[in-house]
Amino acid sequence: MRKKQYVLAVGESDSSNIHPIFFTRTRLVVFFSCFTVLFLSLAYLIGHGIQKLKTNYQVLELKKENAVLKNSYDLLEERAKNMESSLNELQKRNRQIRVAAAMPVSEIEYGVGGPDTPDKSGSDDYTMINQADWDLTKLEVEIEWLHNSTTELEKMTSTKVKQIAHFPSIRPVRGGWISSEFGDRIDPFTGKSEDHPGLDISIRPESEVCAPAAGVVKVVNNRVITNKGYGKYIIIDHGYGYETLYGHLSKTYVKTGQRVKRWDILGLTGNTGKSTAPHIHYGVLAKGKPQNPKYFILE
């Protein structure tokens, strides 16, 4: 029995030129099978390509997101380092202020580190970064406040330290003993009661006389009248209303207008002027009024 054939006519609609193509059932099945395989293969390749493009897009988006997260972490890290540097500087300044003002040295109770945020269940990276950013912002505000407070403390302490440096607070000589107190006494020359505006410290001659505080030399007198006045003497203006006087010296080492610091050598003790034996007359004046020098010897 002759196999059935299928005819596919190919030609133009308005032409008699038609080209018949004959197919058997077997060829038709093979043709459609090949076409189906080809179509499915093409569909798979297209689908795989689309999936690959989608995956590549997701990877690209993840890379962008990771870059943003890394940049955020880097910024937090930099802020934390800057705050740590600021705190170290504030600690150093605070320590210097306390040492200068004779205050107990203590560390500033603050600490910082990198943005190593804690593991919070259910929180994503952005939430954790936002929390770390908020914590650092609060700490920055506190550091700014501490900076302003430290600056104000420095200004006040600087003024106090300057005042302390100009406040007469030590004995003008090392050694010796007080031979005549401040106030009423019997004049060794006349035997009469008189007001003694300072301390007489008996000490061997040629002993060094030191400045008890910073100041400017106001008077240097090297003219000596026997049994009259303070003999060779020096007056120092310490500012803030304080002056000190050193009488009966044998030598003077400073000049009028010269600036001196505490412990600078002013001259040597002696027995010049109205004096019965080698000693130094030490006087302290506050706004022109004699004060008891004992109250200004803090050592």
Domain boundaries, given as residue ranges, for the chain: 5-68, 70-165, 177-296
Those residues whose C-beta lies under 8 Å from the C-beta of residue 100, and which sit 6 or more positions away, are: 157, 161
DSSP state of 231: S
Rg (CA), the chain: 50
Extract the tokens encoding 96. 């210097």
Run of H or E residues at 69 = helix 25-100
Architecture of the domain delimited by 177-296: Distorted Sandwich (2.70)
Strand 259-260 to 199-202 pairing: unpaired
End-to-end CA distance of the chain: 140
> How many CB atoms sit inside 10 A of residue 63's CB?
10
Where is average pLDDT lowest: 27-41, 60-74, 237-251? 60-74
> Does pLDDT of 138 surpass 50?
yes
Determine the Cα–Cα distance for residues 262 and 19; give it in Å rounded to an integer: 127
Residue of 232, 234, 273 whose CA lies nearest to 250: 232
List Cβ<8 Å contacts ≥24 apart for 124-129: 125/69, 126/69, 129/69, 129/72, 129/73, 129/76
- Identify the residue with better confidence: 183 or 237: 237
pLDDT confidence band for 208 (50 / 70 / 90): very high
- Identify the residue with better confidence: 119 or 216: 216
% of the chain exceeding 70 in pLDDT: 81
Q: What is the pLDDT of residue 174?
A: 93
Q: What is the pLDDT of residue 182?
A: 93
- Identify the residue with better confidence: 128 or 211: 211
Determine the Cα–Cα distance for residues 53 and 263; give it in Å rounded to an integer: 85
Residue of 292, 107, 66 whose CA lies nearest to 195: 292
> Does pLDDT of 112 surpass 60?
no
Determine the Cα–Cα distance for residues 18 and 201; give it in Å rounded to an integer: 146
For the whole model, what pTM was predicted?
Answer: 0.54
Q: E strands, the chain, where?
A: 5-11, 18-24, 177-180, 183-186, 193-196, 199-202, 208-210, 215-221, 232-239, 242-252, 259-260, 265-269, 279-286, 289-291
Q: What is the mean pLDDT of residues 198-223?
A: 96
Those residues whose C-beta lies under 8 Å from the C-beta of residue 105, and which sit 6 or more positions away, are: 95, 98, 99
> Does pLDDT of 108 surpass 60?
no
